[in-house]
Amino acid sequence: MRHGKKVNHLGRTAPHRKALMANMASSLIIHKRITTTLAKAKALRTYVEPLITKGKDATTHNQRTVFAYLKDKEAVKELFTVVGAKVANRPGGYTRILKVGNRMGDNAEMAFIELVDFNEYFQGFGTDKKEAKKTRRGRSKASSNTAKTTVPVEATPVVAEEVEAEVIEETAAPVENVVTEETTVVETSEETQPEVSASAEETTSETETTEASQENTPENQEGEEENKPE
């Protein structure tokens, strides 16, 4: 029986398991997320997190130690340049495991493991939680005092009155102009009426004189004499 033995051998020999963990750790550091079985993801967490802690301090000794585990220059460079700077302020807990269901075929539990600081779309990313101050008393009193001290400020009607006075003055000026224009029109119409009547009288007198002159012409007189009975 395996009582008290926490290491999961994953059904492999020791060299095979070491190579498996090194390859998975290199893939996780380069790609920031990989999908694997739940058992392998849990075994990889205990393997890669101590290496990420060493990646915070880019000394020659730490780089050689990490290279002895990973045996991949690209992964070591990524760890000490990108990942180490990103997780510098995080005190452990660099990885996250999320289950994604069972695998078709053997029905094995699947999960993906990712680096926490590189998932910018996860809920709660980048929010600094501030601890609320714990006070036993004083909150209700403070809120009541603030309610008492707050006095509603009335709006000053002085500006509104000034604006209304200006509007009234502006509207009154065009009315006076209209009245003056109407009076001038009426006066001009009254002045033109006598002129029109005088011109009409002159035209009637001219027509009468022309008719009289036509009646007194010699032709008309001869015609009248011919028409007289003998």
Q: How far apart are CA 190 and CA 93, in angstroms?
A: 104
Residues 19 and 106 in one domain: yes
Scanning the chain, the segments in alpha helix (DSSP H) are 14-31, 38-55, 60-70, 73-78, 84-86, 139-149, 158-215, 218-227
Q: Which pLDDT does position 175 carry in this prediction?
A: 47
In a domain, 199, yes or no: yes
Residues 113 and 163 in one domain: no
Residues 95 and 162 in one domain: no
Q: Which pLDDT does position 186 carry in this prediction?
A: 47
Q: Write out the residue range of the structural domain in which residue 48 sits.
A: 14-118
Q: How far apart are CA 96 and CA 33, in angstroms?
A: 9
- pLDDT tens per residue across span 109-163: 999 999 999 988 775 655 555 666 666 776 665 555 555 555 555 555 555 556 5
In a domain, 138, yes or no: no
Please give the single-letter amino acid code of residue 60. T
In a domain, 8, yes or no: no
In a domain, 209, yes or no: yes
CB atoms within 10 A of CB 20: 17
Question: Measuring CA to CA, which residue among 140, 106, 149, 113 is closest to residue 31?
Answer: 113
Residues of the chain with confidence (pLDDT) below 50: 175-176, 178-179, 185-186, 196, 230
Residues 44 and 111 in one domain: yes
Radius of gyration of the chain (CA): 55
Q: Which pLDDT does position 122 carry in this prediction?
A: 74
Q: Which pLDDT does position 47 carry in this prediction?
A: 97
Number of domain units in the chain? 2
In a domain, 63, yes or no: yes
- CATH number, position 86: 3.90.1030.10
Please give the single-letter amino acid code of residue 101. G
Handedness of CA 52, 56, 57, 60 (dihedral sign): positive
Residues 171 and 95 in one domain: no
In a domain, 178, yes or no: yes
Q: Tokens at residue 14, please? A: 């020791």
Q: Which pLDDT does position 217 carry in this prediction?
A: 55
In a domain, 151, yes or no: no
